[in-house]
Structure 1
Amino acid sequence: MIDLTTETLDLKEARLRAIFRELGSVLVAFSGGVDSALVLHVASQELGERAVGITARSESLAEREYAGAVGFAAAIDARHEVIETRELHDPSYAANPVDRCYFCKSELYEKLAAIARERGIPHIVDGYNRDDEGDWRPGRKAAREHDVRSPLYDAGLRKADVRALAQRLGLAVWDKPALACLSSRFPYGTPITLELLRQVDRAEQTIHDAGFRACRVRHHGEIARIEVPPADVAALADPAIRDGIVAGVRAAGYRYVTLDLGGYVSGGYNPSR
């Protein structure tokens, strides 16, 4: 058995490129995060016009993330298209159960599968990597049901490998903070509406505008619980910055604005936490 932890980045990159050449033609589920960005870039390098990135524009995708995805694809000169998804119209998704992501990914992959069949593209690929398998990801069931391939995983890349390779290849998103849809800001069981998604988006934009790259606004009714990396907690609490953020988050629709001293935790509402 190959020990992937001792392999060099060169070997993993070579395997990744060989996987794409073997696949021959792919649709890339491109969210704009560093993982799928690396997949789209390398697929485009190896396959040219036979690699097509597809971004799903939905109510749960922050506008800044959509703009970033479009800009990245243009910057690397990749084939890129945008489709509309309406997972919020599915009551099973809007009820926000613990497997909410399954319903979102099911709609996405059904639409991608239809596009792939229409164009004769044999494979759909995503940005799943080796470190993701230890996380709570109900969307993986949908990926298996639609035969989605995961080249980063198959090539043995972990998250650190993804960032290192993206940096080496000159991708501007190599150090981009982890991406998650806006629906992840709500405790499981809290119904999700378009109005609430926009409220969270406006609140988070206030924090981004203040210079914080990574943040989450966790929704608790009238309370906004702000998470930033522990190293940024003191900076956000500085009155010179804090007061503007409080005003902006309240303007977004929250009555109370709190700062979580524990800092940002990826997947903070997941059952395993």
Structure 2
Amino acid sequence: MNKILEDKLNNLKKELKKMGKVAIAYSGGVDSNFLLKVAKDTLGENVVAITINAMMHSSREIKESNNYAKEYGVKQIVYKVDNFNLEEFIDNGPLRCYYCKKFVFTKIKEIASEHNIKYILDGTNLSDLDDYRPGLKALEELNIISPLKDVKLTKDEIRILSKELSINTYNKSAFACLATRIPRDHKITEEKLRMIEEAEDFLQDLGFNQYRVRLHEDLARIEVDKDQINKFYNDEIIEKINLKFKEIGFKYTTLDLNGYKMGSMN
């Protein structure tokens, strides 16, 4: 481990020790999983993972978070939101992420308070500041702490440290809430989100690593990493995807030749 990364990791542990007892907003993704493991190694039993399970979340991601929390021996509280009918979220305007984060982290704060935990942490890192993230304002308003950002860890550095610490998510694909697949100002519905989830699960089962299925009315626009676009040269793969997507409910399926790009709906 190089000196710069070692210093950042030590600074992260120092910040965690100062807080003593923390709740982590936990999705099981690269960032929150790294934070959870380091917090567990640093604070032992004084760590709780809080996971919100609402319609914009993937069932596969929730299950993975369950498995990692059990592996680390961390208490995980999963709060199920059966009817996420927040109007500002459903309407999918430019501040959708802000209103969603405000709702979700307000609930996480309530759960943390019930367990006498003062400090709520999330996995925002330095690289997140380069993207359009209106939800970050909600975190600031609610006094959510982002220690990875505070010690200036980037996404790539978190992956490197995760590998050094034998955390399995070091090479996990980037993932975002399913609502990011729907164009702005197009209504978000449970049906649309489940279609997207099923389509993306199918791509993962076919061996694609980084992917998105963007929904445009009755058309599915597939984004994959450019180095995996050549998989579509296979007639069998094309036929499988075409048939499955029609079964899911898409009338048309198209491949974006620009490849996967984070935040391409922004």
- TM-score range normalised by the length of the shorter chain: over 0.9
- Read off the aligned partner of 1:49 and give its amino acid letter: E
Structure 1 residues 149 and 172, CA, compared in 2 at 3 Å: closer, same or farther?
Answer: same
TM-score, scaled to structure 2: 0.96
Segments of structure 2 that go 5 or more residues without pairing to the other structure are none
- Read off the aligned partner of 1:89 and give its amino acid letter: N
Paired residue for 2:198?
A: 202
**Aligned-pair distance for 1:118?**
2.1
Moved over 6 A (4+): none
1:249 aligns with 2:240: no
- Counterpart of 1:122 (choices 112, 118, 122) is 118
- Read off the aligned partner of 1:184 and give its amino acid letter: T
* 1:85 and 1:108 in contact (8 A); partners too: no
1:221 aligns with 2:217: yes
1:70 aligns with 2:66: yes
Q: What are the superposed Cα offsets for residues 206-234 of structure 1, whole Å, 9 maximum, x if unpaired?
A: 21111112110100111100000000011
Distance across 2 between alignment mates of 1:86 and 1:262: 36
Distance across 2 between alignment mates of 1:52 and 1:66: 16
1:261 aligns with 2:227: no
SS at match of 2:170: coil
Paired residue for 1:28?
A: 24
Distance across 2 between alignment mates of 1:152 and 1:101: 20
Distance across 2 between alignment mates of 1:70 and 1:228: 27
Paired residue for 2:234?
A: 238
Distance across 1 between alignment mates of 2:171 and 2:219: 30
Paired residue for 2:45?
A: 49
Distance across 2 between alignment mates of 1:173 and 1:69: 11
Within a 5 Å distance, the mapping from 1:1-16 to structure 2 comes to 8-16=4-12
Within a 5 Å distance, the mapping from 1:121-160 to structure 2 comes to 121-160=117-156
1:190 aligns with 2:186: yes
* 1:30 and 1:53 in contact (8 A); partners too: yes
SS at match of 1:173: helix
Segments of structure 1 that go 5 or more residues without pairing to the other structure are 1-5
Distance across 2 between alignment mates of 1:253 and 1:88: 23
Distance across 1 between alignment mates of 2:185 and 2:171: 32
* 1:27 and 1:53 in contact (8 A); partners too: yes
Identical residues among aligned pairs (%): 36
Report the RMSD for the aligned CA atoms in angstroms: 1.3
SS at match of 1:247: helix
Task: Report the number of matched residues.
Answer: 265
**Aligned-pair distance for 1:240?**
2.2
